[in-house]
Copies of this chain bind each other. A is one copy, B any other.
Amino acid sequence: MIDTDIHVLIDPEQLLTYIEPGQREWFRSRGPGLGLPDYPWAHPVSWFRDDAEHAPGKAPTTSVGAIQRQVLDAYAVDVGILNAADGLAIPLMPSAYRAAALARAHNDWLRDHYLEQDPRLRGAIVCPAQDPRAAAEEIRRCAEDKRFAHVLLVGGSERPYGEPRYLPIFEAAAECGLPVAIHSGGEGIGIAASPGGAGCPTFYIEWHTQAVAGSIMAHLVSLLCHGVFERLPNLRVLLMEGGVAWLPGMLWRLDTNWRALRVEVPWLERKPSEVAREHISFSTQPLEHTDGNDQLFFEMLAAVGAPDILCFATDYPHWDFDDPEYMLRRLPDSWRDQVMHGNAASLYGDRLGLVAA
């Protein structure tokens, strides 16, 4: 089984030692958040599982030991991909220079303190997307280590990721054979645009229901309309944690508009939904709960390419963690192998080559 979404929380003291000395004091003086933008839409109880590891001072932590105990060993996970949790917001820092320093430190820290510690672990490359050329450099630097499995971008953004300014990031990923994972989160924080599409929401429940899905929809439509996959035929994108039940409707809308409005995007020679099916995957967590409508839901997903497009994820250690056994019970029999393993194995290819037996 492959878990495409295990989160690592920054250990500030550890991470500070990786930051270049000339910038280290600025980050230290920002406190334990290291100057990363924070969420005004806070979870009303806790962002984390009740039984997540906590430091003596009660801050949640994600040591390798906790990840082994609560994910890898608990569910016999073959490969777990580590995505930044708080570090997801690096591309939303106002300063591209600070972001570049923190991204570099985060990647090196992840390598030493996680990837080196367990052969089942793979890592996500964080990058300063505010400065796409610098981001591309960081991607190329990290990609030499085959244990980095994808490039990580965040849902919140200044502009949708099809915009030409971001092309160097996708070019670097494609050149290195790395998928780009766009993970929901960060909408409306730091330098990100207003979340949701109708102005800032009020509650976490709104933000988590609609805004985190909306950013993923916007990036999907943007990447398809700008023809990023026509430019980079081997690029693969993994959309994470923005849900997937909206996908049939959004692709129906886009195909219809493509037929009517091709004059605006003449470089799109194929139906966008066909291009999406070849280039886009979705991590499962949180796969929508449907109140008894799973049969309908799986028909909807099949209409847009499931099971081929789904990759299992737990989202450890977040509050809405999906237990693999729950997912196995829920998925149609014939989908299980692909969703739990096959699709991610195909997506990441030789980046998973070091898997322990």
Contacts and interface: CB of A to CB of B under 8 A. Distances in A.
Contacts of A258: 205
Interface stretch (A52-60, A80-88, A107-115, A218-226): A218-226
Contacts of A357: none
Given A199-B157, A252-B289, A256-B289, A204 B264 contact: yes
A291 interface: yes
Interface stretch (A10-18, A71-79, A117-125, A241-249): A241-249
Contact of A197 (B162, B215, B256, B273): B215
Contacts of A202: 159-160, 162-163, 222, 225-226
Interface string A200-236: 1111111011110111011101100110000000000
A296 B288 CA distance: 18
A97 to B, nearest CB: 21
A103 interface: no
Contacts of A29: none
**How many copies are assembled?**
2
A218 B226 contact: no
Given A44-B263, A252-B291, A222 B245 contact: no
A44 B245 CA distance: 30
A196 interface: yes
Contacts of A297: 252
A187 interface: yes
Interface of A: 43-45, 155-163, 187, 192-206, 208-211, 213-215, 217-219, 221-222, 225-226, 243-246, 248-250, 252-258, 260-261, 263-265, 273, 286, 288-291, 293, 296-297, 299-300, 303, 319-320
